[in-house]
Amino acid sequence: MLDQLSALQIEALAALADIQDESALENFRVGYLGKKGSLTALSAGMREVPADQKGAVGQKLNEVRTALTAGIEEKVAAMAAAKDAASVAGIDVTLPGLPTPNGALHPLTRIRDRAIQTLRRMGFALADGPEIETEWHCFDALNTPADHPARNEKDTFYLPDGRLMRTHTSSVQIRTMESIKALPVRIIAPGAAYRRDEIDATHLSVFNQLEGLYVGRDVSLADLKGTLEYFFQEIFGPQTQVRFRPHFFPFTEPSFEIDVKLEVKGQAPKWIEIAGCGMVDPAVFEAVSKSRGDNLFDPDLVTGFAFGMGLDRLAMILHGITDIRHLIENDVRFLGQF
């Protein structure tokens, strides 16, 4: 038995040295160490070995198995090393590597984060709400009557069940006032809004808004103007001039359009419309009070202001983008500038 094991070890190691591919190596392993392999067959004969020789035979059996296993592992490692060497053959490792481009935030993400950070420093908290809304939250509660153009099916995305895709994030303001437990309310609501606009250089059917609301005791128009002047000077620079023009919105009274005066190098300074705002209309407080069933938002006791702006427009002005469609086309040549 000992002679057979020695002969098997010599034969197996000689055969292993000639193996050059993984398939042949697997056949070798099965042929010697598998359930029906040569070494397994010899080990089955241990029962016939005299008792005084079992120790020596068992030791030799383990020695042969260990030698073959180690030989197979060395062969596997050698084959892997040869494969790795072949994969880099002909490559000049002294050449400089290819540069890896760095990623960057999308211009819309950058202006959104910057606007949120600025307003949070001023005490505003983030609020969120559903993009699929009811007519009450999107229009009725905001003093927008049924005959208002915004409620036309040609202007708004209506769903078969009567709900709609929100046309502004003002609906978040209503939901916040419905659920708040105490005053003051000071929130901002960034998010997507949907309108059936023809897509062109300045319009998309889906755009990004940021709206704000501040309601409390003795909130004044001066608070509104001071807040927005500071905000736009933080966004566009401390020398930015801001002006308020009278306007009309159903949910604020008085209402204003906001312009900022931008000075671009090589161009004459010009005023650009950038946002809308106003003092919350008492009719909005009355609708919220009726929904809540209490007088927390009694229009005789509280005042507030609201404002809204398109983040897409802010990004276009800030970066000199002439076509809003560039912001959604995901062209890396365009985005690489930022």
For 105, other C-beta atoms within 10 Å of its C-beta total: 12
Q: HEC profile for 191-212?
A: EEEECCCCCCCCCCCEEEEEEE
Q: Are 57 and 1 in contact (CB under 8 A)?
A: yes
Dihedral (CA of 282, 283, 288, 290) sign: positive
**3-class state of residue 153 by DSSP:** coil
The residues, any chain, with a CB within 8 Å of residue 234's CB and separated by 6 or more, are: 118
Alpha-carbon distance of 32 to 250, in angstroms, equals 89
Which of 13, 14, 29, 25 has its CA nearest to residue 77? Answer: 25
> How far apart, in whole angstroms, are the C-alpha atoms of residue 176 and residue 324?
31
Instruction: Determine the Cα–Cα distance for residues 172 and 236; give it in Å rounded to an integer.
Output: 27
SS3 at position 296:
coil
Query: What is the C-alpha separation between 21 and 17, in angstroms, rounded?
Result: 11
Ordered alpha helix ranges (H), the chain: 2-17, 22-33, 38-43, 54-87, 107-121, 135-138, 170-179, 221-236, 282-292, 311-319, 332-335
Cβ–Cβ under 8 Å, residues 9 and 2: no
Q: Is 253 annotated among the ligand-binding residues?
A: yes
Q: What are phi and psi of 82, to 5 degrees?
A: -65, -40
List the binding residues: 253
For the annotated binding site for Mg(2+), the residues are 253
